[in-house]
Homo-oligomer: A and B are copies of this chain.
């Protein structure tokens, strides 16, 4: 029995056939690639996500300034096609090495630096209307999850509530996961693994019937897709818990609205309903954290200014008020400052109170 070809595989083959037809017809082979630059990125007020505009540029094979990029696009398409056929996944770095071959009869490599293959992968996402994950190219793996959910993945049934102190390690690609039982009422996502361990030890997800999820540092695409699937498929509210600083706000902003870099994939990644549950300027006084304020460095001040001016924050009164208050304060604060009130203050008082009173920024 022949296996049915997947949509991404067919999309790549269409791309190949289109180019082949041009060659056979004696035409200059060409690929139309939507332009990914701030000039072609807009904030779509209706869907409330960062979206790509309609500008497209053609990439020709017989054009000195296009030829290499054209070749790279074909090469990476072939790499992805192989991965899909073999049902294997590769990282961005792997794809770079797979594409880095010397063109026969020359001393020229198809790609020399990873940013070349990375850019082409993003182009291919657009050209084929498939996310990188669907093209079997994975991002970084990071993060842990625990809570009232049972999933099925690679034939294993995994209960997120029965994984000891570690939790489930979130893979880079969550497209194939099946949710078998979701009894959680909401998801709490935090930027810090140490805060996750705090809430996990306090059995926060058990007491409050929820899911706790964290990365360490940046929110990986695997985590964003997992959050989005829980939001879309199970209508779970998502709360984002970060420090009170422009970097924490940006973490929230990326999850909610999408990022400039990945504007072309916003539909698959952005979660317009997420709410910000991190430390706010109001919290500082309310929870007596004044002593734990950390003075802004110049980089904080300028980052705050940038974020304040993003289209998706510009008309948001609540957020503008928050940004202004932060600027006035000239300081930031960390979630862990709450530990000064007692090790489990965050689990026993701060979070339950904020969630009950719906003290979110939106």
Which A residues are within 8 Å of any B CB, using their own CB? Answer: 82-83, 86, 88-91, 93-98, 100-102, 109, 138, 140-145, 151-158, 162-173, 176-177, 193-194, 196-198, 201-202, 216, 291-292, 334, 336-340, 343-344
Most chain B CB within a 10 A radius of its CB, from A96, A142, A197: A197
Neighbour of A151 across the interface among B162, B164, B173, CB < 8 A: B164
Besides the contacts A89-B197, A166-B168, what 6 more A-B pairs have beta carbons closer than 8 Å?
A97-B292, A140-B194, A153-B164, A154-B165, A166-B171, A172-B197
Q: A151-B164, A158-B164, A164-B151 are in contact. Are A97 and B337 (CB under 8 A)?
A: yes
A336 touches B93 (CB 8 A): yes
Whether the pair B177, A164 counts as a contact (CB closer than 8 A) is yes
Q: Is the CB of A336 within 8 A of B197?
A: no
Given known pairs A89-B201, A141-B144, A142-B193, the reply for A162 and B158 (CB within 8 Å) is yes
Interfacial chain B residues near A164, Cβ < 8 Å = 151-156, 158, 168, 171, 177
Write the nearest CB–CB distance from A281 to chain B, whole angstroms. Answer: 19
- A173: which B residues are within 8 A, CB to CB? 165
Report Cα–Cα, A339/B88, bound state, in Å.
12
What is the total number of copies of this protein in its complex? 2
CB–CB A166/B162 < 8 A:
no
A359 nearest CB across to chain B (Å): 22
User: Closest B-chain residue to A154, C-beta based?
Assistant: B164
B94 engages A339 (CB within 8 Å): yes
Q: Are A153 and B141 in contact (CB under 8 A)?
A: no
A191 CB, min distance to chain B CBs, angstroms: 13
| CA–CA, A86 and B343, complex, Å | 10
In the complex, how many angstroms separate the beta carbon of A139 from the nearest chain B beta carbon?
Answer: 9
A336 and B97: CB pair below 8 A? Answer: yes
Which residues of B have CB within 8 Å of A109?
291
Is there an interface contact between A198 and B94, defined as CB atoms closer than 8 Å? Answer: yes
Sort A-B residue pairs by CB-CB distance and give the 8 closest, nearest first.
A153-B164, A91-B194, A169-B169, A144-B169, A94-B339, A141-B193, A165-B171, A97-B339
Compute how far the CA of A151 lies from the CA of B97 in the bound complex, rounded to whole angstroms.
37
Which B residues lie within 8 Å of A336 (CB)? 91, 93-94, 96-97
Contact B193 A88 (CB under 8 A): no
Chain B residues lying within 8 Å of A170, measured Cβ to Cβ, are: 166, 169
Distance between Cα atoms of A28 and B202 in the complex (Å): 41
Task: Give the distance to chain B from A66, nearest Cβ to Cβ, in Å.
Answer: 25
Known: A193-B142, A194-B91, A216-B141. A169 touches B171 (CB 8 A): no
Closest to A145 in B: B169
**Residues on the B chain within 8 Å of A95, using CB:** 339
| CB nearest to A142 among chain B residues | B216
A182 CB to closest chain B CB, in angstroms?
16
Q: How far is the CA of A165 from the CA of B153 in the complex (A)?
A: 7
**Docked complex Cα distance between A167 and B100 (Å):** 31
**Chain B residue with the shortest CB-CB distance to A146:** B169
CA distance A86 to B158 in the complex (A): 31
In the complex the two chains form, what is the Cα distance from A151 to B162 in whole Å? 12
**Contact, CB under 8 Å: A343 / B100:** no
Q: What residues of B have a CB within 8 angstroms of the CB of A86 in the complex?
A: 343
**Which of chain B's residues have a CB closer than 8 A to the CB of A82?**
343
A347 → chain B closest CB, angstroms: 10
In the assembled complex, how far is the CB of residue A118 from the closest CB belonging to chain B, in whole angstroms?
A: 14
